[in-house]
Structure 1
Amino acid sequence: MERTPATAVPCPCGSALPYERCCGALHQRFADDGRLMAPSAEALMRSRYSAYVLDQLDYLRASWHASTRPATLAPNEPGLHWLGLQIKQHQQQDETHATVSFVARSKLGGRAHRMVETSRFVREDGQWFYLDGDVS
C-alpha cells in the first residue's frame, strides 16, 4: 500500500488545509525558535486543538498565558480519540484581546464527549496566548 505524503495529511483542526500548511507550520516554528506565530486568536485556538490531538504538550504549555498556565499537563488518556473541532465564533475586542467559541468532540471508552467553551485570548509582544475560558 502506498503511503500518503506528510503534506497531504489533513490538519486535525478541520481547516481543510494540509497539516504542514496549517497548524503544523505553527508547531514547527515554535519547535524551531520558541515563538508562537499564530496570526489570530482563532489560529492559536486551532493550533492548540491540533496540539491536543497530537499530544504536543510543550506547545500547549507555551501557548497558555503565564498567569494561568498549569504547572504540568498530562498526555491524552490511552484510547482517547479526538473527533473534530468546530469554531462557532471569533471576536476580536481590540488589538490585544479576543474570544473564540468552539465545540471540540472526542470519544473515550466508547462514549462521545463534547466540550463547549468560550476561550479568552490576549496578545503580548506580538504573540497570542490562551488566557482562560468558560465551559458550558
Structure 2
Amino acid sequence: MSYIQIKSTPGKRLQYARKKHGLTQEELAEALNVCRATIWKLEKDKVPLKKTIALSICNILKIKYDWLWCGEGSMKNDLSFNDINTAIPYLQELQNDIAIMKIYSRLTMHDDKQKAVYILYNMFQDKYDLSDIKNNFLPNII
C-alpha cells in the first residue's frame, strides 16, 4: 500500500492502522462492540466515519484522531496515560519554577532586573536549555 493510498480516505487510513496494529476486522469489531460488516463498510468508505466511533478506534489502535479523520500529522499517538502521569510531577515543578521567574521579573529597578535575570539563569541553567539566553542576553548584563 503506497503513502498516497494510506492518506486518501479515512477508510483506507483505518484499514492501514488496523493492519499495522495486527488486528483483524473481526477483532476490531469486537473491541468496538459492532459487527465485522461495519468495519468492512468503514474501511471501504461505504458509510461515513462518525466522531464517536473514530475516537474509540483511535483509543484502541493508539493512533491520532487528526490522522484518522483527515490525514494530518503522524499516525501514531505516542502519549499514553502512563506517560502523562509520569509527566505531571515535572509539570508541577516547572509551574513552581515559572512562579519563581515571575517573582524575579516583577523587580522594578533596572539594575535589579539585570541581577534577577542573572540569578534566574544560574538557578535554572542545569534544568533547562538556556543557551539562547546565555548567548543573546547575558553578555549585555555581565
Does the pair score TM above 0.5? no
Task: Pick the structure with greater CA Rg.
Answer: 2
Highest RCO, 1 vs 2 (Cα 8 Å, sep ≥ 6): 1
Q: Which has the higher strand share?
A: 1
TM-score w.r.t. length of structure 1: 0.27
Q: Which has the higher helix share?
A: 2
Q: TM-score scaled by structure 2?
A: 0.26
